[in-house]
Amino acid sequence: MISTDDIFRLPAGDEAAFGVAALELFRYQATACPPYRDYLRLIGVQPDAVRTLRDIPFLPIVLFKSHNVYCCGDTPPEAVFTSSATTGMTSSRHPMRSLALYEQAFRGAFRTFYGDPARWSLYALLPNYLRRKGSSLVYMADRLIADCGSGGFYLDDYDALLRDMAHDPKPKILLGVSYALWDLAERYAPKLRDTVVMETGGMKGYREELPKAAFHKILCDAFGVAQIHSEYGMAELTSQAYSAGGNRFRCPAWMRVVARDINDPFDLLPPGARGGLNIIDLANVYSCAFIQTQDAGIVAPDGSFVVEGRIDHAEIRGCNLLVQ
């Protein structure tokens, strides 16, 4: 199997090297990850017959709710990250074999798009995540705040947040869950200096869902910034994509996104076509690197992608094959 060091050394834009690494990891996970192995059997895919990147099947993300998507058998994970869920919903569980691997992934992605963390201060406005256990986002933010050397977590003390940011001479990133940023914008409308405002998606049932462009305009007007950055991540992934504005995300070198036909999850679409989003995250070494998400969007020829929302009736055909 490809080493984790080799995964993070993949050259940006080298599709041939990425394809070789993905196929090598697929062959390992097709045997070592029981839910993925069973899924391949049920859809009639023989791993030895998979010869190209496009032939690799993607595991429906819903199976992280019902199965232990993990390659390491009796070796316990160092952490189990869980997704946020509204009342009555089941959370996804992602066993993380190595927290060092997770840290290598999120630090590498951050450096790719924002450079050395030490030049930034990171202020995290993540109230619903802080109130529960198992948040990969809180773990990432905590370590990045330490790398930055300044910033911190703020639950709902907006006065302290704005006071501390105003006294901070460094360039700043304000990372917030969408509804908390909206509350801050509505109640204070502070004009932020030398600050990147970064939303991490989702109203989580606290506020009405708005089209992304409309929501970003509310934040831009309130905060006096030209663009709203975004972070795209989830409990089932190890890596993150980032948008510097316009809801267009870019991936680190070890991550790819492709679109699929919403009605036929095994049919991959050409660039520019709207469909369900499939993600290859090679940093998902010890779970499954090939994930069929419930997000819809468009992937551009250069590999960047736009998230347009969730797929209606998200139990996509094929998802129920392993759900008992």
Residue 206 pLDDT: 63
Q: Are 70 and 97 a contacting pair, CB within 8 Å? A: yes
**Span of 201-210, 269-278, 304-313 with lowest mean pLDDT:** 201-210
Fold of 101-232: Rossmann fold (3.40.50)
Task: Kindly tell me if the per-residue pLDDT of 262 is higher than 50.
Answer: yes
Domain boundaries of the chain, sorted by first residue? 4-72+254-321, 101-232
Task: Kindly tell me if the per-residue pLDDT of 313 is higher than 70.
Answer: no
Backbone angles phi, psi at 152, to 5 degrees: 160, 180
Residue 86 pLDDT: 57
Residue 317 pLDDT: 36
| pLDDT tens digits, 17-76 | 999 999 999 999 999 999 999 999 999 999 999 999 999 999 999 999 999 999 988 899
Task: Kindly tell me if the per-residue pLDDT of 147 is higher than 60.
Answer: yes
Mean pLDDT of the chain: 92
Task: Kindly tell me if the per-residue pLDDT of 190 is higher than 60.
Answer: yes
Return the CATH class of domain 4-72+254-321: mainly beta
Which stretches of 91-232 are DSSP H helices? 99-114, 127-130, 136-148, 158-166, 178-188, 212-223
Tokens read off for 232: 């795209």
Residue 176 pLDDT: 95
Instruction: For residues 289-318, give the mean pLDDT.
Output: 84
Decide: helix, strand or coil at residue 296.
Answer: strand
Residue 314 pLDDT: 47
Query: Can you list the pairs that 129-136 forms with residues at least 24 positions away whose Cβ atoms lie under 8 Å?
Result: 129/84, 129/177, 130/155, 132/82, 132/84, 133/82, 134/79, 134/80, 134/81, 134/82, 134/91, 134/235, 135/81, 135/82, 135/84, 135/235, 136/81, 136/94, 136/96, 136/102, 136/233, 136/235
Please report where in the chains the tokens 């919903």 appear, as a residue: 89
Residue 47 pLDDT: 97
Decide: helix, strand or coil at residue 85.
Answer: coil
| pLDDT tens digits, 84-107 | 865 457 899 999 999 999 999 999
Residue 318 pLDDT: 38
- Cα(224)–Cα(89) distance, integer angstroms: 37
| pLDDT tens digits, 220-237 | 999 999 999 999 999 999
Residue 108 pLDDT: 98
Q: What angle do CA 140, 146, 149 make, to 5 degrees?
A: 140
Q: What angle do CA 82, 279, 227 make, to 5 degrees?
A: 85
Tokens read off for 7: 């995964």
**What pTM was computed for the model?**
0.93
Using pLDDT thresholds of 50, 70 and 90, give the confidence band for residue 322. Answer: very low
Residue 204 pLDDT: 62
Which run of H or of E encompasses 19?
helix 15-32
Using pLDDT thresholds of 50, 70 and 90, give the confidence band for residue 16. Answer: very high
Decide: helix, strand or coil at residue 255.
Answer: strand
| pLDDT tens digits, 161-176 | 999 999 999 999 999 9
Beta-carbon contacts of 40 under 8 Å, excluding residues fewer than 6 positions away, are 30, 46, 47, 57
Name the region of 291 (left: φ>0; alpha: ψ -120 to 50; beta: rest). beta
Backbone angles phi, psi at 276, to 5 degrees: -75, 150
